Structures are given as structure tokens and as C-alpha cells.
Structure 1
């Protein structure tokens, strides 16, 4: 993960994937194309999760490990075609990360596990952004320390670009997500609003592909591990309880020192939690440790310490922009997408990328390039984003033939603004 090209590859960045493919083509060893990165995250007793990433085919698989099964059982996957990444709500991912950090003190939380597995978690109605945002920011800060937060890039001051990208991609609030309990007692997820953002999950109530029993056992064991911390005699001493009480207020992070000292004097031996209190990398790390020690609701203290999330009230729109190719250079669509993406990012409004092109049969029987199709993401300010798109189209004399519409039902068309008045937007050409 320390390699500079890992995360762009893991996020399926177009340029990174193209560079990887070119590098593989230059390799004499054909087996290089089968490169697979794996990471196992255990709780204990053979229970855990296995992540497998195949950059050559842009494929990420998440599976549950169980002593009752000889093979890892897939719970979801992500790729560029037939993905099923909606495995768990945020609360379950955070729970599993906490339990894994208890099992392996070297695995800090928030950190690598959260950053890697976040693509398999999604937001539904009961999630608290005030608690989630700081943890996600901290996880990516741990694995990509050289890539700082950027208000203009993320669209929200203090939010990392990766955090906002995940929020835009996995926010299923308002999409009719419903959790149900199967006859065997396992939780399953379904969607009753087909007009919302689609749910792609193996965890359907009637599914025979999702390993419900193994997953339920994994979650139950994670909860047991956290409960065991609160049952530790060292945590129950009067001095530790008093120190914890001072740490559970809105400014509780200022009182971590006395808590660390009290735990040490009481003989507390869980090194991962002790380090999270005595030497936290971020407040988010100390928050989950104090929550665990004090028996607080998951995420409640982080929300109190960090306050209202910059993502609260945020919204994004997926748009589709079609650029007819008639009379244009062959690479016009790609170049326009790059210029538009730069303009939107500089304005803190989103980004754009090419989604493909269409060809039609010409008079000579061959195929002729007909149009380019762009995916456009607009954040928080739809009129402002449309204005940037319109101005750039007018600058390239392409507004008259371009078509802009919503990429989600009911796929409404969006009228383009008139010619710009004043200085142009975006980079100069």
C-alpha cells in the first residue's frame, strides 16, 4: 500500500489501470498478469475476512473465513462490470475493524483495514455522518499520508477526497433500503424503491449465495470481543472509571493522559487499546478506544468530539453528457472530459470522465465514430455545475448539439445555459 500507484489502481482510476496494463504488456513473464494482492483480517478462532485484489482484471473480492469451511466464502465483489459491493452497513464494518484491532495490536483502527474494506460498506438511513466522516478521513490519512485533505477537491472543507468519493458512491440513504431478519435469525437487506440508487448485494433475504451463518457468527464474535474489554477487572477499578468519565464529554480527548496512567496502574494489558489511548494518531483512534472501554454507543463519542460533519446536507448528482462527433477531432471527447473534470474540481463541484462512445454504419459499410458519452458527477450545487458544463461547451462551440441529462431515473434532460457573460471558467486553452 505504500507504493504510489497502489491506491489509484485499487480505486480503478482509468489512467492508473491503463499504465498498469502497458507495464504488464512489457513484462516478459506472462504470469505477471495474474498478480493478486491478498490481505487477511482475523478476529480469532479462525474467523476473519479475506480481501483479494487482482489489478490486471480490476477485480476485488471480499470473503469470510470460518473454521467450519475449508474455503473462503465470497460475500461481495467489485469490478467494472457486474459488481455486487453492497455487503454491510457502516456500523458492521466499524465493528469488525475494532475487533480485528483488538486481536492484532499492530493493526491500528482507523487504518488499513477500514480503508481497504470501505468499498464494501454503504450508508443507509440510520447512519450518523458525524461519527463516520472522521474515521474515514483518519483511515485514509494513515495509508496515504502524503495526500492531504483538500476543501476545493472534496467539495467540503476538511474532508478528504477519498472520503467524499466513497460518500458519493455508497450513499444509499433515500434509496428504499430495508433491513429484514430471515427465519434463521440472520439480517438481510433489500430495496423497495427501484427509482433510487440501485442496491447490488448478495445479501438478499432469499439468496442462497451469501454465507449468512458464517457472517452472523463473525459479527457475534466481534461484539463478544468488545464486550470482554468492559468486563476486564482493570477497567472496573474506581480510578479508571473516574478517568473514563472525564473522557466521555465533548472535550474528553483533552483528558486521555490520566486515563492512560490509570489503566497502566490497574494492570490493563490490552496493548492495542492502551496505545490508542496513550499515543493516538488521531482523535478518531482515541474515540473508539474510549467508547469501547466506557461501553458507549458505537460512534457516539466521535460525533461529540468532532461535531457536525461537513458532509451533512451534502448531495451529489450523476449526469450523462453526450457529445456528437460530427465535425470534431477524433479525441475531442477525451480532451473535453479532461478539461471539464479539471474545471469542476477547481470549483469544488465534482468531476467528469469518458464513459464510452458509439459508432454507426457509414455509407461505405464501415463504422463511423458517432458520439462520445461522459459521466459527470456534480456535488452540492447542481445549477453551479451545469453552469460550468454549459460555459465550457459554448467555448468549444458544442452546446448546440450536446445533450445533458440525469443518469438516474427518470433520466430528465437538463437545459444548458446560454453563452457565458464575463471571463471563461476552467483552465485557459
Structure 2
């Protein structure tokens, strides 16, 4: 079992996913509850295995804002970290979307209890990023379905409906897109002298790449990672050697399912596979009883030898995130004359207002101190990270109104979080 009973049960509780995603308010509430109840720190591990000792290992400590991903291989004495995510010195850019999708498909083939899309994709998505060749039409349906599987409805207080203007996109999918879209930032894949694939970034003006997978890196287990990907591809290709798939009845059924309306012909395909004695339980179930339509789509892609993701795009059409834009802003609030928690309260109120308007979110990102006249250090300023979606002028007006309401606009400094870090006016006319 890749997910033990403790982690499976914990993922079903209301606070797990907000804490796992480092939500400020959820983390604060979690820590307060843990201290009041005097409970121990919660540590979880999950292994997602292929075969021959190859797989991935995820480790997390809830509330500690640290998640580690490692690769497992028989050539390694122990699991070796390929990336980690935290709020300080993170290196989460492990793989492009296409590699994560490949690994999830292969793991689902090996373990019938592990559905794709499902917990593996939802947990590991933070370690994947969008590169130039990744197509949102292929990505969005799988990401949405994964989060729906692990966080289905209002029972856990999680997102229930797509945000206005983004029909079909869950909030978790949009959050990941905002943080991991590296298209147009100078990402280039290159092959090292040893034949392993590495990634570099030439344009550092956009969202920066934080990855151990640099061509000159001695910290990334390139050989083990390449072997893992190769084995995943072999497992998917091996399915296609089954003679059952080449019978006339199954071929005809696959041809119908491979069209844009193919999801309407899944029942005949499932019947043809069963009658022909197709023995791969995970794929047969994916076609006959999919956890979501997109599970059937990747199963048909596998059975019909279609390019990864192409049928998904054909079945679901244009991604609801196509054409979306986002901006990262930095908001500095001088601390002089303000209550100690002023910035935290502003961040919470601003984030709630931005989310309600479907314009983004805000969170605290640190503070600075200066040396006082008597030698000690004095709290000087607090810093907020603000992410804006689609409507920058509208979001700036909202930020201005809130800061003016708290008599903070005259001293606050709002700038773009990326080069050239231009300052954005917080004028009274915006209030």
C-alpha cells in the first residue's frame, strides 16, 4: 500500500489540505490546536512504487511547512532527495508536468488501489511545473479530478465550485498554476555528458527556477531518476503488447473511443475487452468504472498507443485556465506605531477580500528589524506576498481601499515582485 491507513485517514480530515498547502490561517489554527491539546508532531510518509525497487518517497511533518520528495532505487543505499518545498529555501521544481503524469500512470498500473487521478497526483503536484511543451488542455482535467477525489465537497470545508470566470478549474488547480507556471521564463532542457536530462533557466526576470536538476549539480540523483522514468514508460508500453488489444472487436472499439466524442463509447470498449479476456485489472476498471472521465481518457490513450495527454485535450477541450495571467506583488508595511499583529491582520483581511473577488490571495512573508539607538534591534517593517489573478488594476484598487480604511496607505509600499520591481501607487483616488 503506498498510503498507510494513518495518512489516508488524515487526508480526509478538514484541516489536512490547507495545512499541507501552507495556508497561513490554517497553519496558525493547527499550531494553536496542537499546543492546547498538547499533541505530538504529526509525521507521515508515503511510497509510490513501480517495481524493481524503483519509486518515490514523500515525507511531511504537518505544521512544519516542509515536504520532502526522494527517489528510491536499488542502486541507492537510501532514498535520495530530488526536491523539497518549504517557505524559506525551497527547491520544488523537480519535474515537468509530463513526467509526473507518466509516473502517476505507471504507479496506478502497478497498484490497483492507487487511482490516477487521485492522492499521488494531489500530493506530488507541488513538485511539478509547467514547461514550454506542457499543454494546459491536457493538465487541467487531471489536476481538477485529483483534488476532487481527495477533497470532494463542502464536507471538509474545501472548495466546492469553480471560481467565477474559471468554470471547471478548482481553486487548488489554479493555485498550483499560479505558483508553478514556468512557461516563458527561459526554461531549457539539456542533456548532460552522461546522457541524463537536466534543466536550466536563461531568463531570470520572470518566475525563477529552483531545482536541484541543474546540469552541473552533484546533488540530484540523475541516474536513478532516469531509470525511474524509463521503467514507467516500459510499464505503459508493455500493456500494448497484449494480443487482446489487436483483435478486430477491441480495435474497432478503441478507434471509436479515440475520437473527440469517444467518452460516449466507453461501455462497448469495456465489454469488448472483457469478452476478449483482457487481464489488466487497473485499466479495465478505468474504462468500465472510472473515478472520473479523465481516468478513462488516459486508459484509452495507453491502450490505443496515443500520445500522452492528446485524447484528454480532445475530450475536454480548451482549459479554463487558458489565457489566465497572474502577478506577484510585494507589500511592505512599516511597523512604527502599529500593533504587533497589525500585518497579520491586514494579510488575513486582504487575502479574504481578494479571494472573495476571485482576484488572488495574500500572506505574510517575513519582517525586518533595524538596530535601535540603544543597541538592540527594533521591529521595523512587515512584508506581505500578494498574488493577483487576471485583473491587476481591479486588485490594486481593492488593496488601496483596504489600506486607506486602516490609515496605512500613506506609508505602505506596494511593488511588483519581479524585475524591475516597479512601485505601484496607492493613491486616494484608488480608494
Aligned to 1:47: 54
5+ residue gaps, structure 1, are 422-429
Worse-superposed segment, 369-378 or 315-324: 369-378
Aligned to 2:161: 150
Q: 2:356 aligns with which of 321, 342, 346?
A: 346
Worse-superposed segment, 359-368 or 269-278: 359-368
Aligned to 1:424: none
Q: Give deviations 1:289-333, integer Å, cap 9, x for gaps.
A: 010001001000110111111111111111011222334343332
1:15 aligns with 2:22: no
1:218 aligns with 2:260: no
Structure 2 Cα separation of the partners of residues 296 and 83 of structure 1: 36
Correspondence list, 1:393-408, <5 A:
393-408=403-418
Q: Is the 8 A contact 1:253 1:305 kept in 2?
A: yes
Structure 2 Cα separation of the partners of residues 186 and 297 of structure 1: 22
Give the C-alpha shift of residue 244 in structure 1.
0.6
5+ residue gaps, structure 2, are 1-10
Worse-superposed segment, 258-267 or 378-387: 378-387
TM superposition score normalised by structure 2:
0.92
Q: 2:391 aligns with which of 381, 385, 391?
A: 381
Structure 2 Cα separation of the partners of residues 329 and 322 of structure 1: 15
RMSD of aligned Cα (Å): 1.8
Q: 1:193 aligns with which of 203, 207, 212?
A: 203
Q: Give deviations 1:272-295, integer Å, cap 9, x for gaps.
A: 111110011211111100100010
Q: Is the 8 A contact 1:152 1:347 kept in 2?
A: no
Q: Using a 3 Å threshold, how does the CA distance of structure 1 residues 342 and 24 change in structure 2: closer, same or farther?
A: closer
Q: Is the 8 A contact 1:178 1:190 kept in 2?
A: yes
Structure 1 Cα separation of the partners of residues 76 and 88 of structure 2: 29
Structure 2 Cα separation of the partners of residues 233 and 99 of structure 1: 20
Give the C-alpha shift of residue 8 in structure 1.
1.6
Structure 2 Cα separation of the partners of residues 280 and 21 of structure 1: 38
Q: Is the 8 A contact 2:59 2:69 kept in 1?
A: yes
Structure 1 Cα separation of the partners of residues 212 and 339 of structure 2: 44
Structure 1 Cα separation of the partners of residues 63 and 391 of structure 2: 36
Structure 1 Cα separation of the partners of residues 184 and 430 of structure 2: 35
Q: Is the 8 A contact 1:342 1:351 kept in 2?
A: yes
Give the C-alpha shift of residue 18 in structure 1.
2.7
Following TM superposition, the consecutive aligned residue runs of length 4 or more in structure 1 with deviations greater than 6 angstroms are none
Aligned to 1:427: none
Structure 2 Cα separation of the partners of residues 197 and 181 of structure 1: 23
Aligned to 1:328: 338
Structure 2 Cα separation of the partners of residues 361 and 206 of structure 1: 40
